[in-house]
C-alpha cells in the first residue's frame, strides 16, 4: 500500500471518472502548462486510457484523500526499460491545489519507485513557465537535465537517479513481478530452470512455460502450476517473461530476442557467478531488459558487467528451503556425493574436461579413505549428453562408485556427509546448508568458489 498521513495512492478504474475528474481535465486555463490541455476528454476516452494503462506495465494511480474519502487527483509513471527511465506525470484537482498534495503524492511515489526500480532514473517533464511545479521537483531532489532535453524548447526535464541495490538492501520480490497478470517463462539449462521454478513457487500464478532439455524434468518435479507451450508466439500478448541464463542451447537467447522485439519486459535470472556476458553473446538483441540474482556476490558482479541494466536481488528461495530441510542429523551420513559437470570436450564455458572429472573421482576416493566413509555416490548433471569418455570413466571406477539416476537433489544431499564437485551451483547450496563441501577449482585464481569460505579446496593427490 502506497500512502502517507493524508493520502493514499490507489488503483484507478472506470468508476472513478466523475464530473469533477473530467472538468479538471477539460479546464484549459487550469491545465495551461499541460500538453493534454488541447485534448477533449470524455468518459469514453478516459475509460479507454484507464483500460490501456492498467493492461500495461505502466503505473496509474488515483490520489485519494483520507479526510474526504474521495479522489483528489491522479499520478502516473511510464516505464521504459530500454532507456532506464521512469516518466512521471500528475494532476491535483483544482479544488485541492496549493495544499501540498502534489509534493506529498510525488514523495510517496518516489519512495515506492526507489524500492521497485534500483538504478533507473525518474523524470518529470515540466513547462518552463510552471515555476510552482519546478519548485516541487527541486524540493524532492530532482535536478534539471540538459541531457534529457525536449525538442519542444518550452519544456524542461527534471531527473533523479535511483541508487542501485547494495548490502543494506534486503532481497525481495518486486511488486512489478508479483502484479504481473500473464507471466511466460523460458528455460533449457538445469541451473536456470531451478531458479525460475523456485521463483514461481512463491508467486500466485500459473505461468506458460517454453521449456526444453533438462528444464522439462525440473519443471515437472517442481510442484508448480504451469502450462507447457511449444511456440514463443503463445507469449505474444504477455506482460512479463522470465528466463534462465543457459548456454547449452539458444532457447533462452531466442526468448529474450522475442521479448525485446515485442517490447515485453524480460527478466533473466543469473544462476551462477561466471560467464555473464558470454551467456548472451555479442548481439544486444539477446540482452534482457532486467537481470535478477539471488545472492549479494552475484549482485556485485552483475552490476559491474551490466552497469546500465535494472538488477534485482531476489530471495534465494531454493537455498532457504534446503537450509530448513537439511538438519545436523542428515549430515551424519557415511556417504560422499560427487556432483558431476557436463563434460563436453573443449567446452570453454564451463572449463570442465574429462580429465577434471577423472581427477574428481580420484579425489573422492582419497577423501573417502581419509574420512572413513562408506559410499561414493555420483550424481550426473541433468545436462550431461551422451559421451563415450564420460561413460568410460564411470566404468573405470565402477567398483568404487554408485551412479545415481533420477534422484531428487535434496534427498541426495541429506544422504551425504561430504559433497565434492567442480563448478556446480550445488556446491554453493550444499556448503551454505551446513554440509562439508569441496571444489576441485577452489583456490584457483578468480574462481567463484573463492567467494564462499564454506567451500574448501581439495588436497592435492599424491
pLDDT at 346: 45
What gap in Å lies between CA 169 and CA 165, rounded to an integer? 6
pLDDT at 331: 56
* The model's pTM: 0.90
Contact 280, 286 (CB under 8 A): yes
* 203 contact partners, CB below 8 Å, separation of at least 6: 173, 177, 178, 183
Interval 390-395 mean pLDDT: 87
Specify the range with the lowest mean pLDDT, choosing from 34-43, 61-70, 289-298.
34-43
2-161 — its CATH code?
3.40.630.30
Pairing between strand 59-65 and 455-457?
Answer: unpaired
pLDDT at 175: 95
pLDDT at 330: 58
202-208 contacts, C-beta under 8 A, 24 or more apart = 202/173, 202/315, 202/317, 203/173, 203/177, 203/178, 205/180, 207/183, 207/242, 208/182, 208/183, 208/184, 208/234, 208/235, 208/238
Contact 422, 371 (CB under 8 A): no
pLDDT at 147: 63
Note the pLDDT tens digit of each residue in 354-367.
888 899 999 999 99
E-assigned strands of 244-366?
Answer: 266-269, 290-293, 310-313, 335-339
pLDDT at 297: 94
pLDDT at residue 423 tops 70:
yes
pLDDT at 165: 96
pLDDT at residue 408 tops 70:
yes
Highest mean pLDDT among 261-265, 406-410, 443-447: 261-265
What gap in Å lies between CA 84 and CA 421, rounded to an integer? 39
Contact 183, 246 (CB under 8 A): no
pLDDT at residue 109 tops 80:
yes
Contact 340, 380 (CB under 8 A): yes
Note the pLDDT tens digit of each residue in 327-382.
766 556 899 999 998 765 444 445 678 888 899 999 999 999 999 999 999 998 87
pLDDT at 151: 57
Which CATH superfamily groups domain 324-457? Answer: Glycogen Phosphorylase B; (3.40.50.2000)
Topology of 175-315 in CATH? Rossmann fold (3.40.50)
What gap in Å lies between CA 76 and CA 50, rounded to an integer? 11
* pLDDT grade for 309, boundaries at 50, 70 and 90: very high
pLDDT at 345: 46
The reply to whether 175-315 and 324-457 are identical in fold is yes
pLDDT at 333: 85
pLDDT at residue 145 tops 50:
yes
pLDDT at 261: 93
Contact 290, 310 (CB under 8 A): yes
Q: What percent of the chain has pLDDT over 70?
A: 95
By CB atoms closer than 10 A (0-12, 13-18, 19+), residue 456 is: middle
Instruction: Tell me the DSSP string of 98-150.
Output: TSSHHHHHHHHHHHHHHHHSTT-EEEEEEETT-HHHHHHHHHTT-EE-GGG--
Interval 81-103 mean pLDDT: 93
**Domain parsing of the chain, residue ranges:** 2-161, 175-315, 324-457
* pLDDT grade for 148, boundaries at 50, 70 and 90: low
Interval 45-67 mean pLDDT: 91
Q: Answer with the residue of higher pLDDT: 265 or 394.
A: 265
pLDDT at residue 171 tops 90:
yes
Interval 304-323 mean pLDDT: 95
pLDDT at residue 238 tops 90:
yes
pLDDT at 382: 77
Amino acid at each position: 500500500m502506497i500512502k502517507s498521513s493524508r493520502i493514499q495512492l490507489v488503483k484507478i478504474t472506470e468508476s472513478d471518472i466523475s464530473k469533477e475528474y473530467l472538468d479538471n481535465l477539460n479546464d484549459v486555463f487550469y491545465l495551461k502548462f499541460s500538453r493534454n490541455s488541447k485534448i477533449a476528454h470524455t468518459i469514453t476516452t478516459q475509460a479507454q486510457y484507464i483500460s490501456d494503462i492498467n493492461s500495461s506495465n505502466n503505473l496509474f494511480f488515483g490520489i485519494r484523500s483520507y479526510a474526504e474519502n474521495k479522489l483528489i487527483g491522479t499520478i502516473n509513471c511510464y516505464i521504459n526499460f530500454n532507456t532506464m527511465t521512469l516518466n512521471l506525470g500528475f494532476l491535483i484537482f483544482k479544488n485541492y491545489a496549493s495544499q501540498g498534495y502534489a509534493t506529498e503524492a510525488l514523495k510517496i511515489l518516489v519512495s515506492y519507485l526507489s524500492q521497485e526500480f534500483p538504478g533507473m532514473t525518474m523524470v518529470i517533464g515540466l513547462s518552463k513557465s510552471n515555476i510552482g511545479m519546478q519548485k516541487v521537483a527541486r524540493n524532492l531532489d530532482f535536478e534539471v537535465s540538459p541531457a534529457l532535453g525536449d525538442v519542444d524548447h518550452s519544456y524542461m526535464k527534471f531527473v533523479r537517479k535511483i541508487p542501485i541495490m547494495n548490502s543494506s538492501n534486503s532481497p525481495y520480490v518486486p511488486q512489478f513481478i508479483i502484479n504481473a497478470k500473464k507471466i511466460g517463462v523460458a528455460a533449457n539449462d538445469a541451473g536456470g530452470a531451478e531458479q525460475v521454478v523456485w521463483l514461481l513457487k512463491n508467486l500466485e500464478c500459473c505461468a506458460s512455460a517454453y521449456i526444453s532439455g533438462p528444464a522439462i524434468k525440473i519443471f515437472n518435479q517442481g510442484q508448480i502450476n504451469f502450462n507447457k507451450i511449444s511456440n514463443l508466439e503463445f507469449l505474444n500478448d504477455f506482460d512479463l517473461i522470465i528466463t534462465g541464463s543457459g548456454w547449452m542451447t539458444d532457447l533462452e537467447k531466442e526468448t529474450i530476442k522475442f521479448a525485446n522485439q515485442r517490447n515485453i519486459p524480460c527478466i533473466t535470472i543469473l544462476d551462477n557467478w561466471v560467464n555473464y556476458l558470454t551467456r548472451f553473446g555479442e548481439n544486444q538483441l539477446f540482452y534482457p531488459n532486467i537481470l535478477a540474482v539471488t545472492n549479494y556476490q552475484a549482485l556485485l558482479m552483475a552490476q559491474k558487467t551490466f552497469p546500465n541494466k535494472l538488477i534485482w536481488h531476489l530471495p534465494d528461495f531454493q537455498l532457504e528451503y534446503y537450509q530448513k530441510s537439511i538438519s545436523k542429523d542428515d549430515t551424519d551420513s557415511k556417504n560422499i556425493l560427487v556432483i558431476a559437470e557436463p563434460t563436453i570436450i573443449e567446452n570453454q564455458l564451463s572449463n570442465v574436461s574429462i580429465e577434471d572429472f577423472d581427477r574428481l573421482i580420484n579425489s573422492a576416493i582419497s577423501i573417502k579413505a581419509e574420512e572413513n566413509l562408506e559410499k561414493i555416490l555420483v550424481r550426473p548433471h541433468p545436462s550431461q549428453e551422451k559421451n563415450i569418455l564420460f561413460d568410460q570413466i564411470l566404468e573405470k571406477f565402477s567398483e568404487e562408485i554408485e551412479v545415481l539416476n533420477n534422484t531428487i537433489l535434496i534427498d541426495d544431499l541429506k544422504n551425504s556427509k561430504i559433497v565434492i564437485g567442480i563448478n556446480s551451483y550445488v556446491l554453493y547450496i550444499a556448503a551454505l546448508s551446513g554440509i562439508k563441501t569441496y571444489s576441485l577449482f577452489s583456490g584457483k585464481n578468480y574462481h567463484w568458489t573463492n567467494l564462499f569460505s564454506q567451500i574448501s579446496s581439495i588436497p592435492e593427490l599424491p
